[in-house]
Amino acid sequence: MNEVKKLPLQEAANCLTPALRLAVDRLPEQTARAAEELRLRVGQPPALSYGGQETALQTAAVTAADLREIVARAARDSVHSYADSLRQGFLTLSGGHRIGICGTAKVENGNFEGVRQFGALNIRIAKPVFGCARGVYEQCCRGEPSSLVVLSPPGRGKTTLLRDLIRCAAASGARVGVADERGELAALRDGAPQFDLGGPADVLELCGKQDAVMHLIKTMSPRIVALDEITSAKDAAAVGYAANCGVEIFATAHALGLEDFRRRTVYRPLLSIFQYAVEIALEEGERICRVHPLKEGAPC
- HEC string of the chain equals CCCCCCCHHHHHHHHCCHHHHHHHHCCCHHHHHHCCEEEEEECCCCEEEECCEEEECCCCCECHHHHHHHHHHHHHHCCCCHHHHHHCCEEECHHHCEEEEEEEEEEECCEEEEEEEEEEEEEECCCCCCCCCHHHHHHHCCCCCCCEEEEECCCCCHHHHHHHHHHHHHHCCCCEEEEECCCCCCCEECCEECCCCCCCEEEEECCCHHHHHHHHHHHHCCCEEEEEEECCHHHHHHHHHHHHCCCEEEEEEECCCHHHHHHCHHHHHHCCCCCEEEEEEEECCEEEEEEEECCCCCCC
The rounded distance, in Å, linking the Cα atoms of 178 and 233 is 19
Query: What value does the mean pLDDT of the chain take?
Result: 89
pLDDT digits (tens, 9 = 90+) for 61-111: 999 999 999 998 988 765 556 777 777 788 888 888 889 999 998 888 888
Q: Give percent of the chain above pLDDT 70.
A: 95
Give 38's pLDDT tier (boundaries 50, 70, 90). Answer: very high
Query: Is the pLDDT assigned to residue 243 strictly greater than 50?
Result: yes
Query: Is the pLDDT assigned to residue 156 strictly greater than 90?
Result: no
Structure pTM?
0.79
Query: For 16-36, what is the mean pLDDT?
Result: 93
Predicted confidence at residue 296, as pLDDT, reads: 61
Query: Checking DSSP bridges between strand 53-56 and strand 47-50, what pairing results, if any?
Result: antiparallel
Say if 8-124 and 134-293 have the same CATH topology.
Answer: no
Query: Is the pLDDT assigned to residue 149 strictly greater than 90?
Result: yes
pLDDT digits (tens, 9 = 90+) for 177-200: 999 988 888 888 777 788 888 877
Predicted confidence at residue 218, as pLDDT, reads: 95
Of 35-44, 86-95, 124-133, 146-155, least confident by mean pLDDT is 86-95
Give 142's pLDDT tier (boundaries 50, 70, 90). Answer: confident
- The answer to whether 114 touches 242, Cβ cutoff 8 Å, is no
Query: For 269-296, what is the mean pLDDT?
Result: 89
Distances (CA, A) of 96 to 64, 104, 182: 25, 26, 12
Predicted confidence at residue 237, as pLDDT, reads: 95
Give 114's pLDDT tier (boundaries 50, 70, 90). Answer: confident
**CATH classification number, 8-124, choose in 3.30.450.90, 3.90.70.10, 2.20.25.90, 3.30.559.10:** 3.30.450.90
Predicted confidence at residue 1, as pLDDT, reads: 45
Query: Is the pLDDT assigned to residue 6 strictly greater than 90?
Result: no
Predicted confidence at residue 298, as pLDDT, reads: 59
Of 74-78, 116-120, 216-220, least confident by mean pLDDT is 74-78
CATH class of the domain at 134-293: alpha beta
Domain extents in the chain = 8-124, 134-293
